[in-house]
């Protein structure tokens, strides 16, 4: 799950970024409305946490434009204003929910879960591949009814590979879909997570289910 935090208050932005990363989300941050629109043009976000008072383009306008471009993810407005008029305006502009600042992080996390559950139907189907059943709404992997324990990152990697079963996926494509923008594409991170994942997923002969195709990528 990829989340965009749009917040010009840097300390709040980085607190939200860290908190959401700890919950296993892939997180990007934009510090003004224009940057937010740029980011959403580049990557798909499942949820946007959108501050209302923003430099350059304000939150309401960002939300209106996103919906005009048929953005289908969830939008949670973060607002210092508690007036009914602003809330109604936010919802009218296409926000799914809103939180009045200051809010508890746990409340934001709960709202994100609620919004993504609503979105979960068509966007995150259960995927079956090579005898594995992956449920992204519960981050669970099962084989013959037995659960396989994966970290959130490992799950996201496997889910991506399973959706493209049989196709070799280059590392750059995995970085684009499973990590945030700031990851250096030359880092060893993908390899490390992939090695852990391969150790956990072996067939009846003890061979890894994920194989590497030289020069092409990883394939399930």
Kindly determine how many residues on this chain lie close enough to bind Ca ion according to the rule CB under 5 A. 3
Q: Which of 43, 76, 47 is nearest to 180 (CA)?
A: 43
The yes or no reply on residue 8 touching Ca ion (CB under 5 A) is yes
| Minimum CB–partner distance for residue 19 and Ca ion (Å) | 18
The structure tokens listed for 210 are 């994920």
Tell which positions 51-90 bind Ca ion, by CB under 5 A. Answer: 51, 53
Judged by beta carbon, residue 51 or residue 97, the one nearer Ca ion is: 51
| Minimum CB–partner distance for residue 114 and Ca ion (Å) | 23
| Minimum CB–partner distance for residue 29 and Ca ion (Å) | 13
| Minimum CB–partner distance for residue 87 and Ca ion (Å) | 16
Measured in degrees and rounded to the nearest 5, phi and psi for residue 14 equal -75, -30
Q: Which stretch in 25-33, 44-52, 61-69, 168-176 sits in contact with Ca ion by CB under 5 A?
A: 44-52
Judged by beta carbon, residue 6 or residue 194, the one nearer Ca ion is: 6
Judged by beta carbon, residue 55 or residue 125, the one nearer Ca ion is: 55
Judged by beta carbon, residue 39 or residue 53, the one nearer Ca ion is: 53
The yes or no reply on residue 212 touching Ca ion (CB under 5 A) is no
Judged by beta carbon, residue 46 or residue 51, the one nearer Ca ion is: 51
| Minimum CB–partner distance for residue 9 and Ca ion (Å) | 6
Judged by beta carbon, residue 53 or residue 135, the one nearer Ca ion is: 53
| Minimum CB–partner distance for residue 53 and Ca ion (Å) | 4
Binding site for Ca ion (CB under 5 A): 8, 51, 53
């Amino acid at each position: 799950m990829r989340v965009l935090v749009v917040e010009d208050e840097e300390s709040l932005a980085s607190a939200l970024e860290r908190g959401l990363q700890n919950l296993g989300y892939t997180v990007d941050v934009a510090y003004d409305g224009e940057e937010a629109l740029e980011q959403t043009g580049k990557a798909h976000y499942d949820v946007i946490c959108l501050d209302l008072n923003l430099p350059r383009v304000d939150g309401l306008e960002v939300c209106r434009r996103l919906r005009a471009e048929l953005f289908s993810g969830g939008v949670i407005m973060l607002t210092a204003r508690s007036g009914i008029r602003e809330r109604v305006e936010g919802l009218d502009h296409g926000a799914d929910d809103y939180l009045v600042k200051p809010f508890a992080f746990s409340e934001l996390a709960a709202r994100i879960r609620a919004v993504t559950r609503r979105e979960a139907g068509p966007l995150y189907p259960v995927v079956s591949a090579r005898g594995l059943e992956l449920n992204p709404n519960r981050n669970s992997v099962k084989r013959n009814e037995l659960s396989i324990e994966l970290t959130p990152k490992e799950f996201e990697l496997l889910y991506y590979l399973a959706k493209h079963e049989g196709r070799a996926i280059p590392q750059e494509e995995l970085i684009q879909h499973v990590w945030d923008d700031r990851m250096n594409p030359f880092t060893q991170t993908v390899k490390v997570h992939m090695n852990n994942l391969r150790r956990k997923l072996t067939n009846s002969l003890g061979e890894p289910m994920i194989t590497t195709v030289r020069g092409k990528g990883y394939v399930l």
